[in-house]
Amino acid sequence: MTNPPGNPPAPPARERDGRSRYLVTGATGFVGGRLTRMILARGDAVTALARPSERAQALRRLGVRVVHGDLGTGRGLAEALRGADRVIHLAAVVKARLAADYWTVNRDGTALLVRALAACPDPPRLVLCSSLAAGGPSSPYGAAPVSVYGASKLAGEQAARAHAHRVPTVILRPGIVYGPGEPALLPALLPMIRLGLAVKAGLGPRRYGLVYVDDLCAALLAAAGRGPTVEPSDRRAGLYPLSDGGRYHWRDICRAVARAAGRRGPLMVPLPMPAVYAAATVAELAGAVLGSMPALNRDKAREMHCADWTCVPDDAVRDLGFAPTVTLAQGFAAALAVR
């Protein structure tokens, strides 16, 4: 692979023991847990910035250096960055009862991180895991989010861009990420599959881009070591929409889950968007009583209103060597095998 003139990847720094040293934020989450184990399997070292929890303790037992901290306040950041030569930023709020909670972590936490990186004598390379929601529907390179979540992720990207002259930064925008332990898509779909009925938001077609979690992790690791970084003069430089390249209709996704579960394809039931918003409002009210935020909420309904959340990962293929290896059928089968 050749790199664009004037923008060669910086050679990764190495510790005396020959290992790369990663700081991973969000290491206790769905993607972060898989990524951390992948890094350790390569023989490299991981530091996790995490709140005290059983998941953090489990990481420590794997050999991860755990620094207790909080991106909302910046506590622990300086210690977590000590010795890191690559940073993969996964920590994010994906659903929240209060809009302010999205901004506190997705925007302000990212800003705290990049400011801390910029203050390092030799800033590590940063890989920011964003979302197609930051660009908006049918706009994987754009800046027109329709949800508060998407707007907060875009604001996090902008915070990283503001320091990109000092901190070499790569931004990935994955579509729906799925796989073993995924907390939203399968838990929502499986009850419908078992009933033989699957609700579809809206009366028209809905298309989505998906990426299996291990393929996303491989892309994150590739971005940590190669490829162009963000440039102020070129909005697309260092920005990578990511999916397995498929443009899946909602019925395709439901049928793939059904096959993986050994069930017949469900009957699709279109639900008009006013009814979707009403259901999301009721779900939020129930969640408020229970002290939780449901996966179906008004912010998510805004995204469900849109017809196309797909992307073509050609730039990631060219610059990062991205090569998705898991098909939809294989991915859902693997996810269901561990439930």
- What DSSP line would sit under 229-280, residue for residue? --BTTBTTTTEEEE--S--EEHHHHHHHHHHHTT-PPPEEEEE-HHHHHHHH
Nearest in space to 125 (alpha carbons), one of 236, 13, 240:
13
pLDDT tens figures, 136-161:
999 999 999 999 999 999 999 999 99
- φ, ψ of residue 149 to 5 degrees: the values are -55, -50
pLDDT tens figures, 83-122:
999 999 999 999 998 889 999 999 999 999 999 999 999 9
Surface-to-core class of residue 267, CB atoms within 10 Å of its CB (0-12 exposed, 13-18 middle, 19+ buried): exposed
pLDDT tens figures, 168-226:
999 999 999 999 999 999 999 999 999 999 999 999 999 999 999 999 999 999 999 99
pLDDT tens figures, 299-308:
999 999 999 9
Those residues with Cβ within 8 angstroms of residue 244's Cβ, 6 or more apart along the chain or in another chain? 209, 210, 211, 212, 215, 313, 324, 326, 327, 328
Of all residues in the chain, what percent carry a pLDDT higher than 70?
Answer: 95
Q: How far apart are CA 128 and CA 173, in angstroms?
A: 9
Q: What is the mean pLDDT of residues 15-37?
A: 91
pLDDT of 3 > 60? The answer is: no
Q: Terminus-to-terminus CA distance in the chain, angstroms?
A: 40
Q: What is the mean pLDDT of residues 32-58?
A: 97
Q: 21-181+212-242+310-325 has which CATH code? A: 3.40.50.720
The whole-chain average pLDDT of the chain stands at 93
CA distances (Å), origin 321, targets 53, 171, 173: 36, 15, 16
Indicate the pLDDT class of residue 245, thresholds 50, 70 and 90: very high
pLDDT of 7 > 50? The answer is: no
pLDDT tens figures, 281-318:
999 999 888 888 888 999 999 999 999 999 999 999 99
Q: How far apart are CA 179 and CA 213, in angstroms?
A: 6
- Residue-level pLDDT at 2: 35
Task: Say if CB 125 and CB 10 are below 8 A apart.
Answer: yes
Nearest in space to 305 (alpha carbons), one of 124, 133, 89, 87:
133
Domain with CATH 3.40.50.720 in the chain: 21-181+212-242+310-325
- φ, ψ of residue 216 to 5 degrees: the values are -60, -45
- Could you tell me how many residues make up the chain? 339
Indicate the pLDDT class of residue 229, thresholds 50, 70 and 90: very high
Q: What pTM, to 2 d.p., does this model score?
A: 0.93
- Residue-level pLDDT at 8: 35
Q: How far apart are CA 269 and CA 315, in angstroms?
A: 36
**Residues paired with 267 in a beta bridge:** 197
Task: Say if CB 200 and CB 208 are below 8 A apart.
Answer: no
Indicate the pLDDT class of residue 10, thresholds 50, 70 and 90: very low
Helix, strand or coil, per DSSP, at residue 216 = helix
- Residue-level pLDDT at 145: 98
